[in-house]
Chains A and B, each alone.
Chain A
Amino acid sequence: MPKIISISKLNYAYPAEEGKAPHPALHDVSLEIEEGEFIAILGHNGCGKSTLAKHLNGILKADSGEVTVFGMNAADEEKVLEIRKNVGMVFQNPDNQIIATVVDEDVAFALENLGVPYPEMVERVNEALEWVGMTAYRRHAPHMLSGGQKQRIAIAGILAMKPKCIVLDEPTAMLDPQGRKEVMKTLLRLNREIGVTVILITHYMDEAVQADRVVVMGEGEVVLDGTPKEVFQNVGLLHSLSLDVPQTAELMYALRQEDIKVPIAVLSVEECLDELEKQLGGIGK
């Protein structure tokens, strides 16, 4: 798979407020992202994960280091539209990213900006709404919808641009469990069925385990990077970063502390159950 985003030695500090030192947010971050990956980025509040996301489509500009997106420098003012068209971004609060007062008009917003001709625009809006399963609500006012529905509208607004990559900054943080499930399902389908690269910033472990790859950040640096199984073996390290681990990994970790020989990388409940049965069976005999 070709690399679509490569970040090398990225440094960024937020400009200093009066009388204060600049607030460093990212320190020598290097990361390569391949086409079609589903990546979860984990980290506690203020670890720089949102800041990192905003470098991927030129909302923030690196102090030093480089972000290359589809062969373009992400900080290049000339190519900003081309970059943003390819790297869509969805934010946490759906209320603050919906611009129009009717659902389909909002989905069309990016297309209007890009100067897409009218007949194609209608087609792409319909397609995007279909994808997120919101076609029935196309003439509704967004403020009458549930959080999960609003967030799916926000995703449709990005999808209409036909981006190759979508970055989502804690898109489920303000949603109820039902809304979270809807959003997660939509993202997985997008990734599996049309090969959109998904970069999901989250602090829900159950979402992270569904990704192909998990990147853990702490204090502006990449701490861990690997498959969910690899990453969630480091239970102690994750705890020290004040992160949770999936409950199954937590249980295995606790058992291993007691010198019970279970494998550490067990993420699904079924697998976990099998392991426990094996252990209990062994003791019984």
Chain B
Amino acid sequence: MIKDITLGQYFPGESFMHKMDPRMKLILTLFYVVSLFLVPDFWGFAIVGALMLLIIIFSGISLKVVLRGLKPLMFIILFTAFFNVLYGGGEPLFPEIGWLSWLKAEGVRNALFMIVRIILLILGTSYLTYTTSPVMLTDAMERLLRPLKAFKLPVHELAMMMTIALRFIPTLIDETDKIINAQKARGADFETGNIFRRAKALIPILIPLLISAFRRAEELADAMECRCYHGGEGRTRYKVYSFGWRDFLALALMVTVIGAIILLMIF
């Protein structure tokens, strides 16, 4: 059930995108998002779309997988489009058909504009998570946010929490399965009844899960202390990142795209 969600998932691989430095990917994704919001017209989208096409080709992940990831968001996209059509101004598209008078040119244009923007937004950010493992992502975030330590932001602690949370997801999913089976073996019923009854049936799963999570946390804390964990102070890192030719190439491409969009905005 939980395993079916492709949004935010990571697909291991050896592609150009996979081999890029996660820090660069994170920065470029930010640029990408900003550039999407700067785009003044459909020509702009054509440029960003071309960039997206390159990303798709050089990530080795088929578009089909990605489109499946879009499906759960279809509702939000259509919802946004609907209201854009409704509240758009301008001339009616079909003046001779009376009941279609609410369909106005600008509204339709706005709606299309929004749809393309949202889809490109989701695609771009998805490819970041598709090609970067969660741990690398947290790592990159920790490194990029390090200067904020000066403002007393607990960067290392936040990253450590994220890493541990990610590490324990599979463990806790396994445990949930075990508890569900144990409760079923004792005659618990999770499948029938209305939504309230089903929600109530979850309590005998959640409580043991919570208790066990606390017990694990305590043991993990001991184990971490035994391995000399004492916060971020004086820590060295096992993973060393360095920017390579791929990163500079991608950066150059992104800068070109942003430049083109700015030119479009001016003219």
Instruction: Show the binding face of A for B, using Cβ within 8 Å.
Output: 54, 57, 59, 80-81, 84-85, 88-89, 91, 93, 95-102, 104-105, 108-118, 121-122, 125, 141, 143, 154, 157-158, 161
Q: Is the interface of B mostly helix, strand, loop or mixed?
A: helix
- Which of B163, B171, B174, B229: most chain A Cβ within 10 A? B229
Q: Is the interface of A mostly helix, strand, loop or mixed?
A: helix
Nearest B residue to A160, CB-CB: B227
- Say whether, besides A116-B236, A121-B236, A157 and B227 are in contact (CB < 8 Å): yes
Contacts A/B (CB < 8 Å), 11 sampled? A59-B222, A59-B226, A81-B228, A84-B227, A96-B223, A99-B224, A100-B167, A105-B135, A111-B236, A115-B235, A157-B227
> What is the minimal beta-carbon distance from A89 to any residue of chain B, in angstroms?
4
User: By the criterion CB–CB under 8 Å, are B226 and A112 in contact?
Assistant: no
Bound-state CA distance A118–B235 (Å) is: 11
Which residues of the other chain, A, contact B236 by a CB distance below 8 angstroms?
Answer: 111-112, 115-118, 121
Q: Which 10 A-B pairs have the closest CB atoms?
A: A97-B223, A108-B238, A110-B227, A96-B219, A89-B226, A113-B228, A143-B170, A115-B234, A96-B216, A113-B229
User: By the criterion CB–CB under 8 Å, are B171 and A143 in contact?
Assistant: yes
Bound-state CA distance A117–B238 (Å) is: 9
User: By the criterion CB–CB under 8 Å, are B228 and A101 in contact?
Assistant: no
User: By the criterion CB–CB under 8 Å, are B222 and A118 in contact?
Assistant: no
- Say whether, besides A110-B227, A112-B238, A91 and B222 are in contact (CB < 8 Å): yes
> What is the minimal beta-carbon distance from B240 to any residue of chain A, in angstroms?
6
- Say whether, besides A96-B219, A97-B220, A105-B238, A59 and B167 are in contact (CB < 8 Å): no
Nearest A residue to B228, CB-CB: A113
Indicate whether B3 reaches chain A with its CB closer than 8 angstroms: no
Nearest B residue to A116, CB-CB: B236
Indicate whether B237 reaches chain A with its CB closer than 8 angstroms: yes
User: By the criterion CB–CB under 8 Å, are B229 and A57 in contact?
Assistant: no
Which residues of the other chain, A, contact B226 by a CB distance below 8 angstroms?
Answer: 57, 59, 84, 88-89, 158
User: By the criterion CB–CB under 8 Å, are B230 and A98 in contact?
Assistant: no
- Say whether, besides A95-B171, A100-B163, A121-B238, A114 and B135 are in contact (CB < 8 Å): no
User: By the criterion CB–CB under 8 Å, are A99 and B230 in contact?
Assistant: no
Contact of B219 among A93, A116, A141 (CB under 8 A): A93
**8 Å CB interface, B71-97 against A:** none
Please count the residue pairs between chain A and chain B whose beta carbons lie under 8 angstroms apart in the complex: 94
Which residues of the other chain, A, contact B225 by a CB distance below 8 angstroms?
Answer: 59, 84
Which residues of the other chain, B, contact A101 by a CB distance below 8 angstroms?
Answer: 133-135, 163, 166-167
> What is the minimal beta-carbon distance from B12 to any residue of chain A, in angstroms?
10
Which residues of the other chain, A, contact B164 by a CB distance below 8 angstroms?
Answer: 99
Which residues of the other chain, A, contact B227 by a CB distance below 8 angstroms?
Answer: 84, 88, 99, 109-110, 113, 157-158, 161
Bound-state CA distance A115–B236 (Å) is: 5
Which residues of the other chain, A, contact B222 by a CB distance below 8 angstroms?
Answer: 54, 59, 91
- Which of A95, A105, A141, A154: most chain B Cβ within 10 A? A95
> What is the minimal beta-carbon distance from A153 to any residue of chain B, in angstroms?
12
Bound-state CA distance A159–B171 (Å) is: 24
Per-residue CB contact flags for chain B residues 202-234 toward chain A (1 = under 8 Å, else 0) read: 000000000000001001101111111110001
Indicate whether B239 reaches chain A with its CB closer than 8 angstroms: yes
- Say whether, besides A115-B236, A125-B238, A143-B170, A99 and B220 are in contact (CB < 8 Å): yes
Which residues of the other chain, A, contact B220 by a CB distance below 8 angstroms?
Answer: 96-97, 99
Contact of A118 among B135, B167, B237 (CB under 8 A): B237
Which residues of the other chain, B, contact A80 by a CB distance below 8 angstroms?
Answer: 230
Which residues of the other chain, A, contact B239 by a CB distance below 8 angstroms?
Answer: 105
Which residues of the other chain, A, contact B240 by a CB distance below 8 angstroms?
Answer: 118
Which residues of the other chain, A, contact B223 by a CB distance below 8 angstroms?
Answer: 89, 91, 96-97, 99, 154
> What is the minimal beta-carbon distance from A50 to any residue of chain B, in angstroms?
10
A96-B220, A112-B235, A121-B236 given; name 9 further pairs at CB < 8 Å: A57-B226, A59-B222, A91-B219, A95-B171, A96-B216, A100-B135, A100-B163, A118-B237, A158-B226
- Say whether, besides A105-B238, A121-B238, A85 and B224 are in contact (CB < 8 Å): no
- Which of B174, B227, B240: most chain A Cβ within 10 A? B227
Nearest B residue to A87, CB-CB: B226
Bound-state CA distance A111–B235 (Å) is: 8
Bound-state CA distance A262–B240 (Å) is: 65
Which residues of the other chain, A, contact B224 by a CB distance below 8 angstroms?
Answer: 99, 109
Per-residue CB contact flags for chain B residues 236-263 toward chain A (1 = under 8 Å, else 0) read: 1111100000000000000000000000
Bound-state CA distance A95–B217 (Å) is: 11
Which residues of the other chain, B, contact A114 by a CB distance below 8 angstroms?
Answer: 228
> What is the minimal beta-carbon distance from A102 to any residue of chain B, in angstroms?
7
- Say whether, besides A96-B216, A96-B220, A84 and B228 are in contact (CB < 8 Å): yes
Per-residue CB contact flags for chain B residues 131-160 toward chain A (1 = under 8 Å, else 0) read: 001110000000000000000000000000
